[in-house]
Structure formats: structure tokens, C-alpha cells
Amino acid sequence: MEIFLDERVVRKNGENIDLACKEFELLKLLVSNKGLALTREIILERVWGFDYLGETRTVDMHIQKIRKKLDLFNEIKTIYKIGYRLEID
């Protein structure tokens, strides 16, 4: 997988993968914090902003979309009652 931040492009196996704006921002956050458990609240704050008034389930739904689009089911770990961690080399 390749991530081009300036172009906001993600490629897997040489093929561009279409990600929505928040999906891209969430992936960027996970990659920049690889190996660290991020709470849903931290994810909401950093991706959606301080004034986001939605549910933390929004994070869960976006994580599921990223897992499916990029086939990262084993790499994005759910940390029970905490949030998520990206585990890739």
C-alpha cells in the first residue's frame, strides 16, 4: 500500500483506492500513530474536529469502510473499550 499525502491518493497493488475525505484523514491518523492505541474520542477530535457532536459509532463505521476498501481486517485492531490500533510494518 502506498499513501501520497499531498495528492490525497492511496494505492494498493498499483490500483488507486477511492477514499472519502474522512476515511483518508482517519487512515492518515492511524498511519502516523502506527502501533499506538487511539481512543475513539481522540480520533473524533483529530479527524472530525472539536465541535463534532456526533456519536463515536461514526468512527467504527469509518474504520469498517477502510478495512473493507484496503483489506486491512487484520492490520487495524479493535482495542476493546478503547478504540483502534494500526499494526503494519
Say if residues 22 and 73 touch (Cβ distance below 8 Å): no
pTM: 0.90
Tell whether the model's pLDDT for residue 10 goes beyond 90. yes
Distances (CA, A) of 3 to 22, 27, 56, 80: 15, 9, 26, 28
The pLDDT of residue 88 is 86
Whole-angstrom distance, CA of residue 52 vs CA of residue 50: 6
The pLDDT of residue 46 is: 94
Domains observed in the chain: 2-86 (1.10.10.10)
Average pLDDT over residues 54-64: 88
Question: Is the pLDDT reported for residue 55 higher than 90?
Answer: no
